[in-house]
Structures are given as C-alpha cells and as structure tokens.
Structure 1
Amino acid sequence: MTWLAETAMLAHGWRRLLMLLVAGAIAALSIAPLFVVPALFVGFPVLVWALDGAERRTSFLGRLFGPAFRIGFAFGLGYFIVAFHWLGAAFFVDGGIMIAIMPFAIVALAALIALFWGLGTALAHLFWSHSGWRILTLTTFLSAAEWARGHFFSGFPFDLLGYALTGNDEMMQAASLVGVYGLTFLAILLASTPALIWPADGRSWSRRLAPFFLAVLVIAAQIGWGNYRLNSTQVAERTDIKLRLIQPVVYEHSDWSRAVPADVITRLLDLSATRTSPSDPGLEGVTHLVWPESSLPFFMSQYPEALARIARALPPDVTLLTGAPREDYENGGPGYNSILAINSDGEIVASYDKSHLVPFGEYLPYADFFSQFGIRQFVPGANGWAAGDGRRLMSLPGTPDFLAVICYEAIFSGDLGADIGKAQFIFNITNDAWFDGSIGPAQHAHHARVRAVEEGLPLVRAANSGLTFLTDPLGRVTASLAPQQVGLLDVVPSQRLAGTPFSQVRYGPFLIALLAGLAIAWLSSRRGRA
C-alpha cells in the first residue's frame, strides 16, 4: 500500500489520469444493487494521494482548472461510466444509429457529470494541507459537488455516493436522520480514512490506524442503530384502502405504431380481473386498481371506447389509477406523462402531470440540431412532452391523500413537493422496461425505497416490467413481484410515521456539516502555510 500511495502522489500525465479512472471505476462498485462498500475504501484513498501530489499553480484560474481539476474529473469519469453504463440499454430499443452512438453518449454523459467532481476537487485543493484534516476538506467540497449535480441544470442525482451506505434495511435507516446527501458526506469522509495510514511519515501504527478504525466503528454503529429502529418502531396497517397493482409487461411503450389500443385494454382488464385463488374476490375486494406508467401507449382520443370499457369492468366504488399520456386539448401543444384517476362511471376524477421530465428521454434539448442526425427523445409522443405544474398530492373521494410520483421523480431527495408532510403514502408508477436486463431497474427501485425511509412514508410502486412492490415507512419490502413477471399484487399500505428528523429539518445537518468542514479546511490550510 505504501507503493500505491507513493505511485499515486508521484504519477503525472496520462498515467495519473488512467490510475484515477480505474480508481473511480472501482469506487462505483459500491452503488446499488452491487453494494461492494469496501470498493469505496479502495478508490477514495487513491484520490486523496493524487491530490497530495498535485502541482500547485500560481494563478487562481490555474489552480482552479489545473491538475487538481483533472484529477477529480478523471476519478469522476471512471465512477460515472460504471455507474451509468446501464443507460445504454435504452439505445438498443430503437436500434440503428442509436446503437452506434451509445458508447459515445454514455461517455459524454459521464464526462458532463464528472465536471462537478473536477470542480469539487479543484476547490478542495485551494484549501489543501498535509494534515489529516485534508480528508475533511475533500469531503466538504466533493459532497457539495454531489448536491450541486442533484440540483443544477434540472438535476441528475442518480448514484449519489451516499447510497453506498444504504445497502440493507439496517444501514438504510440512517437516511431518516440526514437524508442521502448527509450520507454522501459521511461516505466520502469514512472512505478516505485509509489515505491516512500510508505513507507512514514516521507516525506510529496507532495514530495511523485510529481514523480507519473509527470509520469502521461508525458503520457498525449505523447498522446497530438501524437494527434498533427496525425492531422498536411500531408500524400499523391501514384499513381504508386496498390496492391491486398490475405488472403487465407492455412493450408497445417504445413504438406506439405497434400498439392496438383495443388489444392493450383487453390485456390489462383481463389481468386486472384475475382471481389468484378460489377464495380471491378479485376486483370486488379492492378499492383501487393500479396500472403503471406507459401501460396505455396511446392517447385516449385514439380509442374513445377505452373509458367505457374501463367503466364496465370496474365494480362500484373501485377507482383505476393508471399511467397514461394526456393530451393538451386547450393549447394543442405537447402531451403530458400523467396519472389518471378513473372511477366506475368512466369519469376522469383527478390527474397528475409529471413535472420533472427526463432530458433526451421525454424531451430533446436542442431538438433542431439532434433531429438532423435522426436522434429524438426515447419516449414516443409528438413534439416531445410538457412538464406539469409541480409535485402535489392527489386527493380522491374515499382515498387518503397521497403523493403522486412518476418514474425518476422518485430520485430527488428532499424535493418531493411542499405538501409531502400531508401525504399518507408515496405512490410511484414507472416504466423501466427501457433498461431490462441491466442493473438500472433495481437501482431505480432502491432510490425510491430510500425516499420512503427519509420521509417516513409507505411506498406503493407499480412498474411495467418490474420492480413492483410495497414498502412500509421503514423502507422494508413487504410484498413484491419478480422482474418480468406478468401478474398482480394485492397490497394494503401501512400507516405513515409521525415524522422523521430528515422530514422536519431537510438539509439542515448537511448544511451545518458543510459549513463546519469549510471552516476547518480554511483553518488547516492557513496553519499549513504558517
């Protein structure tokens, strides 16, 4: 390890960048659903050692965009290529030119996101010192960079470093205290402690090992506290609602021209009315039938009989909650990716329009330019899709208020809308069939589970091809369907918790940690120059 530390500090040029690219790729093995947490403790020390050996430029811009920037960028590039590789599965759906540009698109996206990490390490190096506090300096600026990439330019907070510390039910409970951004701060700090062991620099083994052993104790304490919370928290089941979740595996989502609306409705209704046993009352025993995102790959105007058929199939007082495209009849513009609530009279009694759209997925930035190369947004729909008016509760007759979240809206920690405190559960419909065969669906599902823990809310999740499941407000999966399984799942959500520390104070602890880290970074850097 002394050899590795010295090599990382002394390496220059392409050798240093290649080493950091590999180190970042190794660190990415800690993400969901792999959760190889020791990989963080291998990758991050290399980053610290490389910054130890980074040349200092004299000008401010030279120091900001010089070697330290390139070090963080290379490390981030390796991390994000591995973390986001599963996005390439969507390119195989359309085939043709999309497959040819897939590797370039993945690398370009990884490089774009890695700019945040490059800026984070560059700022950290402005305050760099040779004391042990330098790992706190790195933690402060890199976790701030993670927050920035989750919020700026529409935000893309997939695979935040904090998710590495949520690999099981016990570890996940810490999200109820500080959220995933707080866990990101903790993950970087803990994973950097091996950098203080090597090289020796004349220090005793006890002094060198103490921070690492403290990191191990922190993780042990996290697991112990999580186990205590799971065993001591009482979770009560609701009595006023029962949902039937349908996992239809509808593949017409990618090409509406292949969809025959009458056939799609028939498949959905037949599956919805299935009796799983002789004693199963079928739809007579549920209050809400749930069809996931993209289960209706057409506008209702293309098949006006749809509402009438749904009305005939629904027993009295049963409401259908379905993912469906909604046309902008008033303005004649792009459609909406929506949740429609349809009662047994065939009336649309409520709706929610997705407000946080996926770039290149549901709308195409710089559409005029990309269309010249035959590139369009992945999700079919004329003129792209329009964003709704923000996250909000859905309120239906005889239904507890719930927070409607469509697809990747569930990955935005602390940004689920102003009314989240009034919601009784999180209702998440999604279509991850674009990424079947990759780790993407499991990764996306895990992010949604962490939202349940943060907010202390049950999570009802209906996915087109998986993963469909129910969690309690502690994030534990209590019922689920297997990926690619065409089937149904009858679930009763539990009661929400009174509240979690994170739901009350949001980013407060994270902000305090950043301010404290910044103060210590400034003091340690001044002491190093004294």
Structure 2
Amino acid sequence: MTALAEFAMLSQGWRRALLMILAGAIAALAMPPLFFLPALFVGVSVLVWALDGAEREKGVFRRLIGPAFWIGFNFGLGYFAVSIHWVGAAFFVDGGWLLAAMPVAVLGLAAILSLFWAFGVSLAHFLWSDSWLRIFALAGFLALAEFARGHLFTGFPFNLFGYALTANPEMMQAASLVGIYGLSFAAIVVAATPALVWPAAERALVSRLLPLFVAVGLITLQLAWGHYRLGDITVEENPDMRVRMVQPVVAQDIKWQTFAREEIVNRLIDLSTMHTNPEDEGLDDVTHLIWPEAALPFFLSDEPQYIAQIARALPDHITLLTGAPREAYGSDGSIVPGQRPFNSILAFNSDGEVISSYDKTHLVPFGEYLPFQDFFERFGLSQFVHGSEGWAPGDARRLMNLPGTPAFLPLICYEILYSGRLGAPVADAQFILVLTNDAWFDYSIGPAQHFHHARLRAVEEGLSMIRVANSGISAIVDPLGRVTVQLREREIGAVKGSPSLPIGGTLFTQYRHMPFFALIVLGLVLGLLGVALQKRRQAKHL
C-alpha cells in the first residue's frame, strides 16, 4: 500500500488521470448490488493520496479549477461510468442508430455528474492539510456535492456514497437517523481512513493503524445498533388490507404496440385471477389488486372494451390500482386539446370506474419529457417513454384516500429515490405505493439498484412500501427495510401480502436533513482546525 500511496501522490498528467479513473471505477464496486465495501476503502484512499500530492495554484479561481478539480472529475468519471453504466441498456430497446449513441450518452452523463464531485473535491483542497483532520474536509464538501447532485437540475441521486453502508437490514437502520446523505458523509470518512495509515511514517504501528481500527469499530457499531433496532421494534401487518401484486414481464419493445394490447390485458387478468397453489384463494381473500406502471399502455377512451373486460374479472370487493396514461380533461369532461397526457396511477372499482388518480410529478429528463424540445427534435431526438408529445407533470404530491383503504402515498418509478423529498403528505401516509417499469434496463444491474434505493426510503420514513414492477423486482418492504414477499427479476407471476402498519416517526422524519447539515458543519470545522494546526506547527519550525 505504501507504493500505491507514493505513486498516487507523485503521479501527474495522464498517469494521474488514468489512476483516478481507475480508483473511481474500483470504488463503484461498493455500490448495490455488489456491496464490495473494501473497494470503497481502496478508491477513496487513492483519492486522498492524490490530493496530498496535488499542486496548489495561485489565485482562487485557478485553484478552484486546478489540479484538485481534475482529480475529483476523473475520480467521478470512473465511478459513474461503472456504477450507472446500466443506463445504456435503454438504448437497446429501439436499437438502430441509438446503439451508436449509447457510449456517448453514458459517458456524457457520467461526465456531467462528475462535475459535482470535481467542485466538491476542489473546495475540500482549500482546507487541505497534513493533519488526519483533512479527511473530514473531504467528507464535508464531497457529501455536500452529493446533496447537490440529488437536488439541482431535477436531481439524479442514484448510487450516493452512503448506499455502500447499507448492504443488509442491520446496516440500513442508520438511515432512520441521518438519512442516506448523512450516511454518505460517514462512508467517505470511514473509507478514507487507510490513507492515514500509509505511507508509513515515523510513528508506532498501533498509532498508524488506529484510524483503521476506528473505522472498523464504527461499522461494527452500526451493525450492532441495527441488530438491536430490528429486534426491539415490533412490526405488525395491517389486518384489513391484503394485496395481490402482478408482475407481467412485458417486453419494452412491444409494450406500446397496438397489436399487443389484447395479449397484455389477457395476461394481466390471467395472472390476477389464477390460483398459484392449491391453498390460493385467487382474488377471494384480496382487498386490492395492483398492476405496475403503465400496465395498461393505452388511453382508456381508446379501448373501452378492455376496461369492460377488466371490470368483469374483478369481484365486488376489489379495488384495482394500476399504472396507465391519462388524458387531460376539462371541467366539462372533454379532453383538453393540445394538453400533454399524464403518466398516472388509476384506481378502479369493480364496476370499472376510475375513482381516483395520481399523476407523476417528477418526470425523467429525456425519458418522459424532452428539455429544449424544439432544438432536439430537429435532429430526430425524442423522449424514450412513449407519449404523444411527452408527458406532462402532475400538480402536486397527495395522498390517495380510497374507500376501505388506509391513506397512502402513491409514487411512480424513480420518484421514490429522493430522500426527504417524497412530499409533505408522506407524514400522514400509512404506507407508500410505488409502481414502476424497469423493463428498459432488463438484464442489467439497474433494477436491483433501483429496488435497493427504494428500500432505504421505507427505513427513513418508518413506513411500509408496496412496490410493483413490470419485470421486477416487485415486493412488500416493511418499515425496517425487510422484504416480506417478493417476485424476482423477470419472474412472471403474482404474489400476495399485506403492508405493515407504521412504526412511528424516526429521527429522520423529525429533523429531515438537519443532522446531515450538522455533519457538514462538523466536517468543515475539523478541516479548518487541521489547517490551523498545520500552520501552528510550521510557525514553530521557523
């Protein structure tokens, strides 16, 4: 490790750039679903050593966009190129010339996200010192960059650093205290500790290894507290609600084809009503039937015969919750001309009537709407998710209050990723419902990542989550992040279960991101203290 540390500190130019890209790529192996935590220790330590050897430019601006900036940028480029490479799977759905654009799109997205880390690392270098406290400056600014990445320009909070510390339910429990951004701060501090051990200095071995022992101790404490919390909190299922979740696994390239509509509806109904085993009572013991995002890939007004077919299959006591596109209607009940449709969750009663709806508010750029649409359409570019002119965002988050149903917060797809931004109504929700369609990313690690990120929201909010996906993973997650029932990726079928009752407010629900910002302040104060201590030592030697 000493040789690696010295190489990182002394490297410059293209050697440093390649080293940082490699270090970032290695660090990405700690993200779900791999969770190879030692990789984060290696990657972040190399980042610290490179900053130890980074030149200090004169002038604030030149230093801001100086060597430390490019160290952070290249580290991020390697990290994001590996950790979100699965985004490229969407380009295979339509194929053709899009396949040629895939590498450019993936690397372009990685480069854009790397800018957040570039500025975070560059700012941290302003508080750099030879003290062990420098790793807190890095944690403070880099975690703040992660927060910015999750909020600015609609936000893209995939694979935040903190997810490396959530490999199992025991480790997940820390999210109930400080949220995923607080865990990101902790992950950077812990992963940077090997950089304080090497290169070997004229210190006793025990004192050199002390930071690493502390890091291992903190992770052990996290596991122990999580184990205690899992055993201490009693989770009870809601006895008045039993759902049947259907996972139809409809291929994305045929989903929106007109010829496939009949087959899709028949598959949904067959999976909903079939008996999976001799003890299965079908829909007789079910209160709610749930289908995934865009399960009905057509406007209801276009295919009334299918709605009648669905209504005939529903027993009187059943409420159907399904994803479907929804046209905009005016006060007179007519379709508003020129208004873009919504990506919605619709609630049907057994008569086939829509009794409630939720329209997705947080749309995916380039996926569900096209920024600068007029410009991009000149080159033949359009959004990936089909809609006549893209989708329109819904007005606001709100609870669904259906007859005989506990109030719940409906969300669609990646709306569940935004820690602390699920909307004010989440405080009054009894559970969270997420409908999604990850078929765009089949045969990649994307669906597993998406599901794991969603589980953390259940822990943060202390609420059960029902997640129904087109091709997986569909599951019920309890308020402690444990999976109670599940359909695996690309498993065609249906499964039953009940959401758990809320366990009460967590520290995160009471204070949201305040503990995280307190950690940021702590990191910056300790970074400043490290600079002050270095200056004091230098003054003594003069």
User: How does the TM-score come out when normalised to structure 2?
Assistant: 0.96
Query: Which ranges of structure 2 fall in alignment gaps of 5 or more residues?
Result: 331-335, 537-542
What residue number does 1:208 align with?
A: 208
Bigger CA drift: 330-339 or 117-126?
330-339
Task: Establish whether residue 371 from structure 1 lines up as the match of residue 377 from structure 2.
Answer: yes
- Contact 1:253–1:294 (CA under 8 A) maintained in structure 2: no
What residue number does 2:486 align with?
A: 480
- Contact 1:98–1:375 (CA under 8 A) maintained in structure 2: no
What residue number does 1:5 align with?
A: 5
Within the candidate set 331, 354, 378, 1:348 is matched to 354
Measure, in 2, the Cα distance between the counterparts of 1:482 and 1:488. 11
What residue number does 1:47 align with?
A: 47
Q: What displacement does 1:359 show?
A: 1.0
- Contact 1:254–1:379 (CA under 8 A) maintained in structure 2: no
What residue number does 2:539 align with?
A: none
Q: What displacement does 1:200 show?
A: 2.3
- Contact 2:326–2:344 (CA under 8 A) maintained in structure 1: yes
What residue number does 1:308 align with?
A: 308
Identity fraction in percent: 58
Task: Establish whether residue 425 from structure 1 lines up as the match of residue 431 from structure 2.
Answer: yes
Q: What displacement does 1:138 show?
A: 0.4
Rate the CA distance shift 1:482–1:134 in 2: closer, same or farther, 3 A. same
Q: What displacement does 1:481 show?
A: 1.1
Within the candidate set 387, 393, 396, 1:381 is matched to 387
What residue number does 1:236 align with?
A: 236
Deviations 1:38-84 (A, max 9, x none): 10110011100111111111111001011010000000000000011
Task: Establish whether residue 415 from structure 1 lines up as the match of residue 415 from structure 2.
Answer: no
Measure, in 1, the Cα distance between the counterparts of 2:433 and 2:30. 28
Q: What displacement does 1:258 show?
A: 4.3
What residue number does 2:506 align with?
A: 500
Q: What displacement does 1:521 show?
A: 1.8
Deviations 1:459-500 (A, max 9, x none): 111110110111111111111112211110111111110121
Query: What amino acid sits opposite 1:507 in the alignment?
Result: H
- Contact 1:286–1:318 (CA under 8 A) maintained in structure 2: yes
Measure, in 1, the Cα distance between the counterparts of 2:79 and 2:499. 37
What residue number does 1:320 align with?
A: 320
Deviations 1:181-232 (A, max 9, x none): 1110000000000000112232221221101100000001111111111122
Measure, in 2, the Cα distance between the counterparts of 1:27 and 1:421. 35
Query: What amino acid sits opposite 1:444 in the alignment?
Result: H
Q: What displacement does 1:254 show?
A: 5.7
Task: Establish whether residue 434 from structure 1 lines up as the match of residue 440 from structure 2.
Answer: yes
Local SS of the residue matching 1:135: helix
Deviations 1:226-282 (A, max 9, x none): 111112211111111111100011225665234443332222112211112344321
Query: What amino acid sits opposite 1:485 in the alignment?
Result: E
Query: Which ranges of structure 1 fall in alignment gaps of 5 or more residues?
Result: none
Measure, in 2, the Cα distance between the counterparts of 1:254 and 1:50. 49
Measure, in 2, the Cα distance between the counterparts of 1:9 and 1:258. 60
Rate the CA distance shift 1:252–1:148 in 2: closer, same or farther, 3 A. closer
- Contact 1:334–1:384 (CA under 8 A) maintained in structure 2: yes
Query: What amino acid sits opposite 2:302 in the alignment?
Result: Q
- Contact 1:252–1:297 (CA under 8 A) maintained in structure 2: no
Task: Establish whether residue 189 from structure 1 lines up as the match of residue 192 from structure 2.
Answer: no
Bigger CA drift: 418-427 or 256-265?
256-265
Query: What amino acid sits opposite 2:445 in the alignment?
Result: I
Rate the CA distance shift 1:188–1:273 in 2: closer, same or farther, 3 A. same
Q: What displacement does 1:526 show?
A: 3.4
What residue number does 1:162 align with?
A: 162
Within the candidate set 518, 525, 542, 1:519 is matched to 525
Measure, in 2, the Cα distance between the counterparts of 1:259 and 1:342. 24
Task: Establish whether residue 119 from structure 1 lines up as the match of residue 119 from structure 2.
Answer: yes
How do 1:65-104 residues align onto structure 2 when only pairs under 5 Å count? 65-104=65-104
What residue number does 1:334 align with?
A: 340
Measure, in 2, the Cα distance between the counterparts of 1:349 and 1:20. 54
Measure, in 1, the Cα distance between the counterparts of 2:113 and 2:251. 31
Measure, in 1, the Cα distance between the counterparts of 2:181 and 2:69. 22
Measure, in 2, the Cα distance between the counterparts of 1:98 and 1:329. 35
Rate the CA distance shift 1:311–1:258 in 2: closer, same or farther, 3 A. closer
Local SS of the residue matching 1:339: strand
Query: What amino acid sits opposite 2:519 in the alignment?
Result: A
- Contact 1:128–1:137 (CA under 8 A) maintained in structure 2: yes
Measure, in 2, the Cα distance between the counterparts of 1:104 and 1:263. 36
Local SS of the residue matching 2:320: strand
Task: Establish whether residue 461 from structure 1 lines up as the match of residue 464 from structure 2.
Answer: no
- Contact 2:132–2:530 (CA under 8 A) maintained in structure 1: no
Local SS of the residue matching 1:282: coil
Query: What amino acid sits opposite 1:247 in the alignment?
Result: Q
Rate the CA distance shift 1:253–1:340 in 2: closer, same or farther, 3 A. farther
Task: Establish whether residue 28 from structure 1 lines up as the match of residue 28 from structure 2.
Answer: yes
Measure, in 1, the Cα distance between the counterparts of 2:201 and 2:186. 26
Local SS of the residue matching 1:393: coil
What residue number does 1:292 align with?
A: 292
Q: What displacement does 1:365 show?
A: 1.6
- What's the RMSD between the two structures over aligned residues? 1.3
- Contact 1:430–1:463 (CA under 8 A) maintained in structure 2: yes
Local SS of the residue matching 2:350: coil
Local SS of the residue matching 2:284: helix
Q: What displacement does 1:523 show?
A: 2.9
Bigger CA drift: 414-423 or 299-308?
299-308
Measure, in 1, the Cα distance between the counterparts of 2:153 and 2:187. 25
What residue number does 1:449 align with?
A: 455
Within the candidate set 398, 403, 406, 1:392 is matched to 398
Q: What displacement does 1:527 show?
A: 3.5
Measure, in 2, the Cα distance between the counterparts of 1:424 and 1:102. 41
Q: Which runs of 4+ in 1 moved over 4 A?
A: 252-255
- Contact 1:323–1:429 (CA under 8 A) maintained in structure 2: yes
Rate the CA distance shift 1:253–1:312 in 2: closer, same or farther, 3 A. farther
- Contact 1:273–1:282 (CA under 8 A) maintained in structure 2: yes
What residue number does 1:245 align with?
A: 245
Measure, in 2, the Cα distance between the counterparts of 1:529 and 1:108. 41
Bigger CA drift: 226-235 or 269-278?
269-278
Measure, in 1, the Cα distance between the counterparts of 2:199 and 2:31. 28
Measure, in 1, the Cα distance between the counterparts of 2:200 and 2:254. 57
Measure, in 1, the Cα distance between the counterparts of 2:279 and 2:86. 42
User: How does the TM-score come out when normalised to structure 1?
Assistant: 0.98
Query: What amino acid sits opposite 1:74 in the alignment?
Result: N
Q: What displacement does 1:306 show?
A: 2.9
- Contact 1:178–1:509 (CA under 8 A) maintained in structure 2: yes
Query: What amino acid sits opposite 1:361 in the alignment?
Result: G
Task: Establish whether residue 491 from structure 1 lines up as the match of residue 523 from structure 2.
Answer: no
- Contact 2:94–2:253 (CA under 8 A) maintained in structure 1: no
